[in-house]
Amino acid sequence: MYDPPSPLIENYLREAGFWHVANIGWRYKLDPKLISAFIERWRPETHTFHLPFEECTITLKDMQL
């Protein structure tokens, strides 16, 4: 588990729209190896995960869940 983000950077995270992302690590147990695997597969040019069987993207509908 990770500690909550420092209050010193909380406002910056909120302004940038990343506050919810910063909170994921301490609210849920994350598998660091799984996160690393996804990071290695991320293609910023196309905003997709390049997986061995096809490409996968995250849509607004996915974020709604």
Domain boundaries, the chain: 1-30, 32-65
How do residues 7-65 score in pLDDT, each as one tens digit? 888 888 888 777 777 777 666 677 788 878 888 888 888 777 777 777 777 766 666 65
Tokens of 20: 């919810």
Q: Which residues pair with 55 in a beta bridge?
A: 50
CB atoms within 10 A of CB 16: 11
43 with 50: CB under 8 angstroms?
yes
Residue 4: band (very low, low, confident or very high) from pLDDT cuts 50, 70, 90: low
46 with 55: CB under 8 angstroms?
yes
What confidence score (pLDDT) does residue 63 get? Answer: 67
Q: Give the 3-state secondary structure of residue 2.
A: coil
